[in-house]
Amino acid sequence: MMYEEEDFLSLSGIQHFEFCRRQWALIHIEQQWADNLRTVEGELFHSKAHDGSVAEKRGGLIISRGMAVYSRTLGINGVCDIVEFQKDETGIELYGRKGKYKVYPVEYKKGEPKTNDIDILQLVAQIMCLEEMICCSIDTGYLYYGETRHRIKITVDKGMREKVTNIFEEMHDMYSRRYTPKVKMTKSCNACSLKDICIPKLCKNKSAKKYIETLIAEVDDQ
């Protein structure tokens, strides 16, 4: 299946979706957004990665910043922080450039490496977009973490590609039904930028009356 441009979903939404499907739906379907310290710091960090010239050349390396990418088969679009084109005879030809190049996206993250695969999935989605756009095969990308000031090499396999494909299929299905899942409280809720909008405690107790009575009692006690 090929998606039309108007049906594209945000590539970076895969981070929200894997963090919590309800959070993704609140942001991308219901258009609710709340910044917390983490999201503001993350935005500033990314704007630094995108800052500067669109492309620069260092010897056999071309660095492209803030490159727009899309995939009609996944139905997504987004931006790569950095795409590096490294001169390599086994690579592809680039319009207006001599020689052949291999393509490596680099995704910047403010914090430190995570214990889950959320960042890896976003990088794999970028790789799948680049492969479709410039008709090449990419087996490697990098995640750079601001906290450790270090980049990690990620080798992409079939399982990762299938997982990304399945996630975006599920996302398109939820989006077409405008479906927002119910609260499922996890430890992620503490770090969630939408917890004041989502109000997980309210939904968990399943009684708005009880929640409001508690709030009133807290105000009376002050």
- Per the CB < 8 A criterion, the answer to whether 63 and 55 are in contact is yes
Per-residue binding letters, 49-88, with ligand SF4 (x by CB under 6 A): ----------------------------------------
* 60 or 181: CB nearest ligand SF4: 181
Among residues 123, 127, 138, 189, the one that binds ligand SF4 under rule CB under 6 A: 189
User: Which residue stretch of 29-37, 100-108, 111-119, 181-189 sits at the interface with ligand SF4 (rule: CB under 6 A)?
Assistant: 181-189
Per-residue binding letters, 111-140, with ligand SF4 (x by CB under 6 A): ------------------------------
**Residue 180 near ligand SF4 by CB under 6 A:** no
**Alpha-carbon distance 122 to 142, whole Å?**
11
Task: For residue 54, count CB atoms less than 10 angstroms from its CB and return exposed for 0-12, middle for 13-18, buried for 19 or more.
Answer: exposed
HSE-CB at 8 with a 13 A cutoff on CA atoms is 15
- Per the CB < 8 A criterion, the answer to whether 171 and 24 are in contact is yes
Residues that bind ligand SF4 (CB under 6 A): 20, 22-23, 26, 183-184, 188-189, 192, 194-195, 198, 200
